[in-house]
């Protein structure tokens, strides 16, 4: 792991960056760590247990400050970074993006383009547990699915942790805060919760990179990531959308092909 610590130390010592965003050991699991002093770099860790998507901090100027910032990025984080960059949310010159390979080598990316090429070698895989659940749901009848979600979402108390954890939810004003008109019931209620999740999913269409942070963050453990994961699969099949490889023409919902399917239109 020391390669990463070396790198971080040198970056801080040479004053290339003002802070390194990475992971440190937490009480139960690794947690995000904003390392600002060279002497603290020893705390930095990186392993398969590091799952928070650190890209979420990169859209928060108040956290980044004015200086250059380094971030230790996992694969999902890299995908998010590429997507954010495509959506004009990141300043290339203000970021040092690092990742650690299986052989524990540290890679520093020259730019976003380089990340994209790097990502091409890693096919996004949905882990079996999730896939099974998706298949289970698809196996169900419409009514069963509906009951499943209504029950799951009846636990939701609108803490918006899912939103806070998602790197793609960077709007200054989220749709749920729009009140003329009040698109989404603001209070926690089955309808409001459903409306919120549908909005969330629609807003993540072609943008979700499947990091799973949303579900991870949910205090009551609602498998909301299934929505976006399922959508990711569909969009992949329908329009060839690949997470972490944005289509330069625009978002899946802001573009079209004349030959898009319309078998459902009368």
- Joined together, the tokens standing for residue 123 give 């096919």
Identity of the residue, 171 or 220, whose beta carbon is nearer to other proteins in the bound complex: 171
Cα–Cα distance for residue pair 159/162, rounded to 1 Å: 8
In the complex, minimum distance from the CB of residue 140 to other proteins, in angstroms, rounded to a whole number: 8
Beta bridge mates, 98 = 72, 108
Give the rounded distance of the alpha carbon of 181 from its chain centre: 28
- Joined together, the tokens standing for residue 150 give 């209504």
In the complex, minimum distance from the CB of residue 44 to other proteins, in angstroms, rounded to a whole number: 31
In the complex, minimum distance from the CB of residue 68 to other proteins, in angstroms, rounded to a whole number: 17
In the complex, minimum distance from the CB of residue 96 to other proteins, in angstroms, rounded to a whole number: 22
Beta bridge mates, 242 = 245
Identity of the residue, 28 or 138, whose beta carbon is nearer to other proteins in the bound complex: 138
Name residue, tokens 């009846």. Answer: 154
In the complex, minimum distance from the CB of residue 126 to other proteins, in angstroms, rounded to a whole number: 15
Cβ(149)–Cβ(140) below 8 Å = no
CA dihedral 80, 125, 110, 22 (to 10 degrees): 60
CA terminus-to-terminus distance, the chain: 60
Identity of the residue, 102 or 260, whose beta carbon is nearer to other proteins in the bound complex: 260
In the complex, minimum distance from the CB of residue 70 to other proteins, in angstroms, rounded to a whole number: 24
**Which of 66, 69, 29 is closest to 49 using CA atoms?**
29
Identity of the residue, 13 or 255, whose beta carbon is nearer to other proteins in the bound complex: 255
Instruction: Compute and round to an integer the Cα radius of gyration of the chain.
Output: 20
Tell me which residues touch other proteins (CB under 8 A).
87-89, 137-138, 140, 142-150, 170-175, 178, 180-183, 185, 187, 189-191, 194-195, 198-199, 201-203, 205, 226-227, 230-231, 234-235, 238, 249-258, 260-262, 264-266
Identity of the residue, 10 or 147, whose beta carbon is nearer to other proteins in the bound complex: 147
Identity of the residue, 58 or 70, whose beta carbon is nearer to other proteins in the bound complex: 58
């Amino acid at each position: 792991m020391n390669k990463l610590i070396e790198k971080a130390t040198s970056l801080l010592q040479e004053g290339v960056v003002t802070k390194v965003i990475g992971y440190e050991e937490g009480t139960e699991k690794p947690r995000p760590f904003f390392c600002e002093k060279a002497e603290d770099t020893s705390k930095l860790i990186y392993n398969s247990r590091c799952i928070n998507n650190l890209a979420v901090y990169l859209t928060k100027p108040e956290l980044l400050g004015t200086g250059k910032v380094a971030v230790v990025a996992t694969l999902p984080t890299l995908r998010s970074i590429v997507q954010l960059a495509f959506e004009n949310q990141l300043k290339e010159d203000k970021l040092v993006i690092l990742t650690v390979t299986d052989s524990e080598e540290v890679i520093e990316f020259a730019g976003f383009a380089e990340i994209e090429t790097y990502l091409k070698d890693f096919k996004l895989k949905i882990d079996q547990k999730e896939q099974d659940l998706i298949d289970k749901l698809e196996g169900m009848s419409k009514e069963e699915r509906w009951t499943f979600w209504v029950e799951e979402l009846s636990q939701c108390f609108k803490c918006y942790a899912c939103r806070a954890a998602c790197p793609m939810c960077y709007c200054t004003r989220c749709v749920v805060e729009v009140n003329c008109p009040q698109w989404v019931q603001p209070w926690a209620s089955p309808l409001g919760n459903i409306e919120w999740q549908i909005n969330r999913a629609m807003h993540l269409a072609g943008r979700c990179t499947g990091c799973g942070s949303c579900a991870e963050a949910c205090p009551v453990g609602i498998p909301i990531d299934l929505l976006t994961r399922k959508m990711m699969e569909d969009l992949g099949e329908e329009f060839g959308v690949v997470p972490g490889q944005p289509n330069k023409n625009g978002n899946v919902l802001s573009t079209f092909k004349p030959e898009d399917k319309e078998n459902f239109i009368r």
